[in-house]
Structure 1
Amino acid sequence: MIEPLSLLTAFLLGLFGSSHCLVMCGGIAAAIGSNAGTQRVRVTLLFNAGRILSYSIAGLIVASAGLWLQSQHQWLMLVLRTLAALMLILMGLYIARWSLMLTRIEQLGQGIWKYLQPLTRRFMQSPRAIDRLWLGMLWGWLPCGLIYSTLSWVAANGQPLLGAAAMFAFGLGTLPALFASTLAANVLTPFLSNNRVRQVAGGLLIGFGLWTAASVWLLS
């Protein structure tokens, strides 16, 4: 069940994973800001609103799938929650730079992304500010281990509306870093790229993943 504390956890997952977000999305965010002129704030908000909307839609979809699995057999949910715990641990290892195994999982989404990426160029070149919303929505489907980890955790809860809310909270957690990279490129990069910060954030994610795994098998 996703409770307020879990929504806070989703927000912190996005916040602590912001260094990864800067690698994946920081470049396009900075480019949007540099090309927007006096509309920087507006296009930044539109881009990030589109991105977070896509995260919320994905949360709704995977949580619905989790609910369906739960209706089929209870042991399927145990498997799903164990997978969620493993993904969180891998994400923690990735953020701390102790293991890059998660990058292999990111490659699973390349099949869909190759069809969406050409559309991003169209909206990127458009002079209309509203097209930054559509660009953000497309960019929300960029293959990303951090998103996959959070979605697996959301799916394990099996509650569609609250799954969408959790991914919305996750998106808000990623917002400070990407907003700063758009309006003032690299303001947060030195902090989020600091080895100590990455290791602390990674350690917290690993701890949460281990706690999730323990709750699956000890409390179920």
Structure 2
Amino acid sequence: MSPDFIGAFMIGLVGAGHCMGMCGGIASLLSMGAPNNKPSSSIPLFYNFGRLSSYALIGAIVGGAISGLSELSGLTQSLAWLRFVAAIFMILVALYIAKWWQGLLVVEKAGQYIWKFISPAGKHLLPLKHPTHAFPFGFIWGWLPCGLVYSALTWSAVSGSALNGGLIMLAFGLGTLPSMLAVGYGASHFQKLQKSLIFRNISALILISYGMYTAAGAMRMLGFI
């Protein structure tokens, strides 16, 4: 398995406490919007399946577009530079997860403009008439501006193909899945674990180590070391 897939999965897994904060309210909306006000146990599954599908799609688009442009221009070295940027972004995400630096909030705000045009489509799906309607709702909400998503997308950008780009974002989504299912099913103990100071700090150190390793590899590709 490619280290990039593992890295993307780790970003999702250790950063999912942030996802719970952003999407916990959405889980409540789904419960209130359930058919006959009786929440179905399948609603969180359909919602997250839709969310992961949107991640995979945007990852495939970004990965395919960047690799295509790189081949057309002949600037394959640009992928090494992008890989270096992706490594730096991972380190910044680690600082954000540990709450040592909150600069990613600025990046999230940059996506709010586009989100204003997308979010109404999701709201029109409420109340849910059937549990399966949570799938398109999750697909739309997968485009919610999020620094963690943007970080994972930088890895899709340097993946070299649309397939790898989609798989990297899918790996990221799978990493977030335990937390998001915990929100949907009310697993408070798991949520408390991911919000704990020790968990956040250990997770941040793991991501920083991987980011530094990747940055060093990119610098070797560029001939700097």
TM-score, normalised relative to structure 1: 0.92
- Deviation sequence 1:89-131 (CA, Å, 0-9, x none): 1100000000001111112211210001112211132323222
Larger mean Cα displacement after TM superposition, 120-129 or 39-48: 120-129
Measure, in 1, the Cα distance between the counterparts of 2:156 and 2:114.
Answer: 21
Matching residue within 173, 179, 198 for 2:200: 198
Change (3 A) 1:105 1:134: same
Partner of residue 213, structure 2: 211
**Match of 2:10?**
12
Rounded to whole Å, the distance in 1 between the matches of 2:209 and 2:31 is: 36
Off by >6 Å, runs of 4+ in structure 1: none
Does the C-alpha gap of structure 1 residues 204 and 112 become closer, same or farther in structure 2, counting only changes over 3 Å?
A: same
What is the root-mean-square deviation of aligned Cα atoms in Å? 1.8
Which shows bigger deviation, 184-193 or 42-51? 184-193
Secondary structure at 2:193 match in 1: helix
Amino acid in structure 1 at the alignment position of 2:54: S
The DSSP-based 3-state class of the residue aligned with 2:130 is: coil
Does the 8 A contact of 2:95 with 2:102 survive in 1? yes
1:1-220 map, 5 Å: 3-33=1-31, 35-36=33-34, 39-71=39-71, 72=73, 73-184=75-186, 186-220=188-222
Q: Which amino acid is 2:50 matched to?
A: G
Distance change in 2, residues 1:41/1:168 (3 Å): same
Residue aligned with 2:57, SS: helix
- Bigger shift: residues 72-81 or 203-212: 72-81
Q: Which consecutive unaligned segments of at least 5 residues does structure 1 have?
A: none
Relative to structure 1, the CA distance from residue 28 to residue 41 in structure 2 (aligned partners, 3 Å threshold; closer, same or farther) is same
**1:48 Cα deviation after fit:** 0.3
Distance in 1 between residues matched to 2:52 and 2:89, nearest whole Å: 21
Post-superposition CA distance 1:126-174 (Å, at most 9, x none): 3232221111000000000001001101211222112111211211111
Tell me the amino acid that sits aligned with residue 195 of structure 2.
S
User: Percentage identity across aligned positions?
Assistant: 36
Q: Helix, strand or coil for the counterpart of 2:188?
A: coil
User: In structure 1, the residue corresponding to 2:79 is in which secondary structure?
Assistant: helix
Q: In the aligned structure 2, how far is the partner of 1:46 from the partner of 1:91?
A: 28
Shift of 1:41: 2.0
Kindly indicate whether the alpha-carbon contact (under 8 Å) linking 2:33 and 2:126 is maintained by their aligned counterparts in 1.
Answer: no
Larger CA deviation: 3-12 vs 115-124 = 3-12
* SS at 2:129 equivalent: coil
How far has the Cα of 1:177 moved from its partner?
Answer: 0.6
Tell me how many residue pairs correspond in the alignment.
Answer: 218
* Greater alpha carbon shift after TM alignment, 32-41 vs 206-215: 32-41
Runs of 5+ unmatched residues, structure 2: none
Query: In 2, distance between residues paired with 1:9 and 1:75?
Result: 22
